[in-house]
Structure 1
Amino acid sequence: MDHVFACCVLPAVFAILLLLRLLPLKLAKSGGGGDGLRLPPGPWRLPVVGSLHHMMGKRLAHRAMADLARRLDAPLMYLKLGEVPVVVASSPAAAREIMRTHDLAFAGRSLSPTARRMRPGGDGLVFSPYGPLWRQLRKIVVVELLSARRVRSFHGVREEEVGRLVHALAASSSSPHGETVNISERITELVSDSSVRAMIGDRFDRRDEFLEEEAKQSNLLSVFSLDNLFPSSRLASAIGGTVRRAEANRRKLYELMDCAIRQHEERRAATVDGAGGGMEDEKGQDILDELLTIQKDGGLESPITLEQIRAIMLDLFTAGTETSANTLQWAMSELVKNPRVMKKAQAELRDTLREKKPAVTEDDLCDLKYLKLVVMETLRLHPVAPLLLPRECLEPCKVMGYDIARGTTVLVNVWSINRDPRYWGDDAEEFVPERFESGAVNFKGMDFEFIPFGSGRRMCPGVAFAEASMELPLAALLYHFDWELPHGTTASELDMAEQMGLTSRRKNDLHLHPILRVNPTA
């Protein structure tokens, strides 16, 4: 799904195609299966490689799949990626059938050999197979760990971390040389520190190592490697190497989780009655405290093991950092590219908060209507996970009249849906927050033309946490500063290239020059 596909897989695919030229070719039909199934339409396929040749030269899988679906006029499309059967939904109607009408049939999590190596046994919530344990873990996460009340309880942590960033940027903006800052790096550090403090009560001493391994994990899970495309082949596994790299990444990430837990325990031992300087909720508990309490109290149908706690924390660390940080970077990118929108958002902030200087608080956010529209429009054009996370069909069923076999991997191309002019108008590719002013559409999972967090049983359980992690930092950056591109760069020239992992991120960091307008020390 990224440059690794071009570097590692294409040579092997070309080698296979060269061998196939020596054999009598019989092209696979684009519809129907040999066992009498009525499959969704798809592009023509070759033996062995299936539909892979249609992905060649396309750096980003969601764009390649959107182009194919558009050319075929196929809201539900069938691909064979090596030996892996894949169905791609590219319309609200198709997404609704998968995530609502037949939600239970598609509640499974499709795991590549790489994903299985990263989470043996499907530990945690994200990779867990559907069943009683998954339902128990999801209830714990939704009700105990990431409830709206719990998310609100960490407002002091977020406000403190945002304040640190604003003061650092204010100092930078006073530079006589008009210094630019790497806003991508600053945002990632801010979101990481805010999220981790909510989870373990303190900043993580090995944050930079974690962010590096997190990026590796995202890339490994999204790679079209031979071992993932041909999971039954020992030769492909030997050549591919992705699974081996995944094992090393898993060991490192779990070591970091162990380190985070030890750091948490040491901090607890060094404080009296949980007096950790405002790092926990009103009960003096962070998220890890809550998990350990649940484990100790027992009473669960399936007792929680330390391995599961590590996996859940890793899920929360990753989801709490990467998704919100990427969205904020895209929001700032779109705002500097669209000065009209930025000025309108800044005017709302400065007019609303003129009596509340020198800082934005979370209590102010409820009055900032346009800021929320900016976040929604960012999620529309740059959804957190363009293909969501892959589901697996648990039982044979029909979607839009087509047969979906058990074991099929199912992807929902929200990137394609979010930019389809049939649902968003002729300006679907433009950044226009006003399109959400009516309030008719939101991202809570019921409006299938806009589902950046998914829908149904497998919907992201951390929507409230993500909202809080995005809105306050964006408000502060726009309230305190005007923003300019580096000297000599115009808005039309701004690099907006994507790099695909599990989430869509900027390929290159965003560098901007902050100009202080509201002094945080006033």
Structure 2
Amino acid sequence: MMMMILLLCSIIFVTILFLKKQSSGKKTKTPPSPPGLPLIGNLHQLGRHTHRSLCSLSKRYGPLMLLRLGRSPVLIVSSADLAQDILKTHDRAFASRPLTKLSDRLLYNNRDVASAPYGEYWRQMKSVCVIHLLSNKMVRSFQNVREEEITLMMENIRKSSSLQNVSHHLETLTNNVICRVALGRKYGGKTDFKKLTDRLSEMLGTFSVGSFIPWLAWIDWIRGWDSQLEKLAKELDAFFEKVLKDHEDSSIDRDRTDVIDALLAVRRNKSAGFEIDRVSIKAITLDVFVGGSDTSFTLLEWAMTELLRHPKSLNKLQEEVRTICKGKSSVSEDDLEDMPYLKAVIKEALRLHPPFPMMAPHYSTEDVKLRDYHIPAGTQVLVNAWAIGREVATWGLDAEEFKPERHLDSAVDFRGHNFELLPFGAGRRLCPAVSFAVVLNEVVLANSVHGFDWKLPVESMEDKTDVVESTGFSVRREFPLYAIASPPTCLT
């Protein structure tokens, strides 16, 4: 009762201040805005799936909107040409990240690459990732890991009943690959790192009242959000500290260099040209794991979903893969270059289902004039990659349809040069792990359709209805994908 009285008094007080400011504030030309409410602004207009809510609003107010989420001004970008303005023309001005309590506690005070503010520290850490962790040589060095885990997944599918939990198989594979690449070995049982990172992804997708309305931050404490945050942060750090100590133990013989080994070598040899400390090593490793596993699993799950819903596309992909790999029991990474339809399927899955529909927020560090609008410093920017991927002006009237053929004669790619397709971002904050993610996605999908014939269960309605999306930082299926796997009718 007391909490409700305090909240009501707070709302009345802020309403008075809001109306006073509205009547006396200096007018500047700003992008169109949906009507907001005192105190909360436009927060009430964000539904369960933010990317869909903002896409609907953009159809009414235009592809460039200014929302007020609590006290924070947030620019919403929902078209390819405006994304180019933000991520290329004015890239430097919008290259930073907003600082939040979430990133402070969970991402080591923004010491990782993804959430670090734009500046010298971010440049140094990104160079470490690009040169020492995600170079073509390093990506190739993990080929055996990918092959071993794919072989294990295929064997598990063969041993299971014909009705397969496809989501479980794909999630296990991507988790195991990234664990071995980043941490040196799989972590399960009492130290199930996957459960920790699932909680992290879920936490990053939750709403913190204090992040948008600081003077109401006490609500986060009362509802237990703060305690959950602290508990998860301590568990994650304890896990990484243990993994680091294992790597520093010279008595443990290591037959393969993983991400932590590479980072420790950079620190020991001072090969980066600057000091890299223990906290930065843990923060970067967390980036590699969460970004790699979430992106790859989510993409593969949606790609298989769409292929099963569109049997003609599945058959066409199988024909391509099985023709190229005639007489072979599996698909190697060397085979992938000759598979244009496979690459088109990956692009189409990324277009319709970007793993992170709302790109990580950008933050303006200076005033910008954008299309005759004044965008002040301190404005957050959210680029709706999901909406851009479904823009009729770019993709045509069939933009909502899964149609890989649209990419066969198109030069549009997802590596940051074309703003019609932005699953990995663009500009200075382009995800540095694109090459690693792409080769894993392609070789897993190719082997899956090469080794088995797939179809949906007879009672399934997935091919007739929309598939429900999850909520959170990354958007997966709400429910696991089940499908029937059978030996290929003709493994040519």
Moved more, 45-54 or 465-474: 45-54
Q: Which amino acid aligns with 2:67?
A: L
The 3-state SS of whatever aligns with 1:80 is strand
Instruction: Sort the Cα spacing of 1:478 and 1:16 in 2 relative to 1 into closer, same or farther, 3 A.
Output: farther
Instruction: Confirm whether residue 62 of structure 1 aligns to residue 51 of structure 2.
Output: yes
Instruction: Sort the Cα spacing of 1:206 and 1:134 in 2 relative to 1 into closer, same or farther, 3 A.
Output: farther
Tell me what 2:251 maps to: 269
Moved more, 94-103 or 488-497: 488-497
Moved more, 324-333 or 214-223: 214-223
CA distance in 1, matches of 2:490, 2:241: 40
Instruction: Report the CA distance between 1:493 and its aligned residue.
Output: 4.0
Aligned counterpart for 1:34 among listed residues 6, 20, 25:
25
Instruction: Report the CA distance between 1:299 and its aligned residue.
Output: 5.3
Q: Which amino acid aligns with 1:455?
A: A
Instruction: Confirm whether residue 304 of structure 1 aligns to residue 286 of structure 2.
Output: no
CA distance in 2, matches of 1:117, 1:270: 31
Q: Which amino acid aligns with 2:96?
A: G
Instruction: Sort the Cα spacing of 1:299 and 1:328 in 2 relative to 1 into closer, same or farther, 3 A.
Output: closer
Instruction: Sort the Cα spacing of 1:340 and 1:25 in 2 relative to 1 into closer, same or farther, 3 A.
Output: farther
Tell me what 1:365 maps to: 336
**Paired residues, number:** 488
Tell me what 1:6 maps to: none
Instruction: Confirm whether residue 332 of structure 1 aligns to residue 307 of structure 2.
Output: no
CA contact (8 A) 1:196 1:317 kept: yes
How is 1:278-427 mapped onto 2 (pairs within 5 angstroms)? 280=256, 285-298=257-270, 300=272, 302-355=274-327, 357-427=328-398
Aligned counterpart for 1:185 among listed residues 145, 168, 173:
168
Q: Which amino acid aligns with 1:385?
A: F
Aligned counterpart for 2:448 among listed residues 477, 483, 489:
477
Instruction: Report the CA distance between 1:171 and its aligned residue.
Output: 1.8
Moved more, 180-189 or 215-224: 215-224
The 3-state SS of whatever aligns with 2:173 is helix
CA distance in 2, matches of 1:33, 1:117: 38
The 3-state SS of whatever aligns with 1:476 is helix
CA distance in 2, matches of 1:144, 1:217: 26
Instruction: Report the CA distance between 1:255 and its aligned residue.
Output: 1.7
Q: Which amino acid aligns with 2:29?
A: R
Instruction: Sort the Cα spacing of 1:17 and 1:369 in 2 relative to 1 into closer, same or farther, 3 A.
Output: farther
CA distance in 2, matches of 1:303, 1:21: 49
CA contact (8 A) 1:213 1:253 kept: yes
Instruction: Confirm whether residue 196 of structure 1 aligns to residue 179 of structure 2.
Output: yes
Query: Identity over aligned residues, as a percent?
Result: 36
Q: TM-score, normalised by structure 1?
A: 0.87
How is 1:120-139 mapped onto 2 (pairs within 5 angstroms)? 120-139=108-127
The 3-state SS of whatever aligns with 1:269 is coil
Instruction: Report the CA distance between 1:133 and its aligned residue.
Output: 1.2
Instruction: Confirm whether residue 45 of structure 1 aligns to residue 16 of structure 2.
Output: no
Instruction: Confirm whether residue 71 of structure 1 aligns to residue 52 of structure 2.
Output: no
CA distance in 1, matches of 2:408, 2:339: 12
Instruction: Sort the Cα spacing of 1:206 and 1:108 in 2 relative to 1 into closer, same or farther, 3 A.
Output: farther
CA contact (8 A) 2:97 2:116 kept: yes
CA distance in 2, matches of 1:361, 1:517: 18
Instruction: Report the CA distance between 1:208 and its aligned residue.
Output: 7.1
CA distance in 2, matches of 1:409, 1:286: 35
CA contact (8 A) 1:218 1:503 kept: yes
Tell me what 2:156 maps to: 168
Q: Which amino acid aligns with 1:346?
A: Q
Instruction: Report the CA distance between 1:468 and its aligned residue.
Output: 1.4
CA distance in 1, matches of 2:138, 2:24: 50
Instruction: Report the CA distance between 1:380 and its aligned residue.
Output: 0.1
Q: Which amino acid aligns with 2:320?
A: E
Gaps of 5+ in 2: none
CA contact (8 A) 2:95 2:118 kept: yes
CA contact (8 A) 2:11 2:39 kept: no
Gaps of 5+ in 1: 1-10
CA contact (8 A) 2:103 2:109 kept: no
The 3-state SS of whatever aligns with 1:164 is helix
